[in-house]
Each structure stands twice: as C-alpha cells, then as structure tokens.
Amino acid sequence: MPKKLSTPLIIVNFKTYLEATGKKAVELAKKAEKVSLETGVSIGVAPQFTDIAAVASATDTPVFAQHVDPIAPGSYTGHVLADAVKEAGAVGTLINHSERRLKLSDIDAIIRVACEKNLVSVVCANNQTVSAAAAALNPDAISIEPPELIGTGIAVSRAKPEVVLDTVKLVREINQKVTVLCGAGISRGEDVAAALRLGAQGVLVASGVVKAKDPYRVLREFAEAAKIQEKQSLEG
C-alpha cells in the first residue's frame, strides 16, 4: 500500500449518488480529508470517473476509481483505461464490486494492469469463497461485501460476523499479505469497531456516509471508532 494508505483503512465509495457527484464529490472528499487529518486514520474515496481529476486536484485524499477495464491503450470506445485514471490522480481502483461484477479472468487481468500502473487493487467479493479465489490473484486488498446487506444499514460486521471471520481465515490461508476489508451496511462507529475485532483491517462504506445528513460527523465517528479499536487491539 502507498504511504498515503495505511490500516485501519476507510474507503468511501461514492457510487453514482447525486450527493457525491460533481462539486459535491469534491466537498465530500474534503470532509474525508479533514477527518483523516484530525484523527490520523487513513481514508480514501472512490468518486465517479468524471470526478476523479477534480477530487484528486482539490484534496490529498487518496482517490480510487470504481472500476477500470482489462484493456491496453487503443481502440476501446467507452472503456476505462488504467493509465487514464492514474493520470487523473487515482492511486487505486475497486475491482468486481457487486454492482460491477466481472469474470475471474478479467479480475486477474485488471489486477495485473493495476500492478503495472502502480494502482492499488481492491477486489470486492460477494462471499468467502470468492474472497479466497481473489486472494490467489494477489491483489493489494480484498473487501468482502454480502450484496444482500449493501445499502440496508444492517452492518455485515454485526449481522453476519461469521462471513468476515471466515473470509479472514480463508484468505490468510492463501495470502498473508493482502489487506482484508469488509463492507455493506456499515452505518455506525460500532460497526467499524466490530469489523476490526473480527480481523478486518478496514471498511468499504457508501450510503452510511454519502447519504448521511452530516457525512463529516459520521466519518468522524467511524475514524474515532477505528482508532480506539486499533489501540485496544494493540494493548491486547
């Protein structure tokens, strides 16, 4: 992971929410930057492609693309080139999000392209088995996200702790290096603390922050909870 990214890591996925589109994407990224500076917790954002450059130039927040295509430069109309998101200021990319599912061979190809372009690869997985398969492809990070909990406000770390526990166990049997995150329904600081207690090294969040009345306050709560849990884990 580049130095701007450390664990515990919070990544806010802006998806295509209007609350995080255009100027509002920059505003939300600035809030993430403020929380990260105030708490020392690493926070990244994943805006839409059209907002990557504006967000990256307006803040020091690590920016992730929500996807890149397994292509080389050339005649690929309508695709997203890794070189392009890199030049726009992205430090990494999500891969295989439940809302942008890919076949295994494409996930492998994108991880390789991301590595070549020095982009952090965060592979999203819908269950423990897919997480284990993804771990064998050697991405920088894996985020386990049960699709049925996405957008519900029912946190995976509270409603399905065994999914996080089993993912960490299965992934570690295959890959000791990969960072393991979890997401889906994370909406309170306690959800973040629970995720870390289960062995995740951070969270991938969206609606709990993007659609909050006060995204700054929610992100601050997430970061404080991560910091406290990390300290408690270190103290044993």
DSSP 235: H
Return the exposure string of 183-205: e unless at least 16 CB atoms fall within 10 Å of the residue's CB, then b: bbbbbbbbbbbbbbebbbbbbbb
Our finding on whether 204 is near ligand G3P (CB under 6 A) is yes
Residues with Cβ < 8 Å from 179, sequence gap 6 or more? 1, 7, 9, 140, 141, 142, 201, 202
**Closer Cβ to ligand G3P, 180 or 205, answer by number:** 205
Asked if 12 interacts with ligand G3P (CB under 6 A), we say no
Active site residue 221: no
Can residue 184 be called a binding residue for ligand G3P (CB under 6 A)? yes
Smallest gap, in angstroms, from Cβ of residue 205 to ligand G3P? 4
Rounded Cα gap, residues 120 and 177, in angstroms: 13
Task: Determine, following the binding rule CB under 6 A, whether residue 206 of this chain makes contact with ligand G3P.
Answer: yes
Which of 75, 190 has the CB closer to ligand G3P? 190
Which region among 16-24, 158-166, 201-209, 223-231 touches ligand G3P (by CB under 6 A)?
Answer: 201-209
Q: Which residue do the tokens 């920088």 mark?
A: 140
Those residues with Cβ within 8 angstroms of residue 58's Cβ, 6 or more apart along the chain or in another chain:
26, 29, 30
Interface with ligand G3P: number of residues (CB under 6 A): 14
Is 145 an active-site residue?
yes
Q: Which two tokens stand for residue 133?
A: 């398969």
* Binding flag, residue 151, ligand G3P (CB under 6 A): yes
Distance CA 204, CA 198 (A): 15
**Burial of residue 53 (number of CB atoms within 10 Å: 0-12, 13-18, 19+):** middle
Joined together, the tokens standing for residue 194 give: 């629970």
The residue sitting closest to ligand G3P, measured at its beta carbon, is 207
Q: Among residues 208, 219, 221, 225, which is the contact residue for ligand G3P, using CB under 6 A?
A: 208
Binding to ligand G3P (CB under 6 A) within 90-119 occurs at 97
Q: Catalytic one among 33, 67, 79, 145?
A: 145
Q: Does 28 bind ligand G3P (CB under 6 A)?
A: no
Annotated catalytic residues are 97, 145
Residues that bind ligand G3P (CB under 6 A): 13, 97, 145, 150-151, 183-186, 204-208
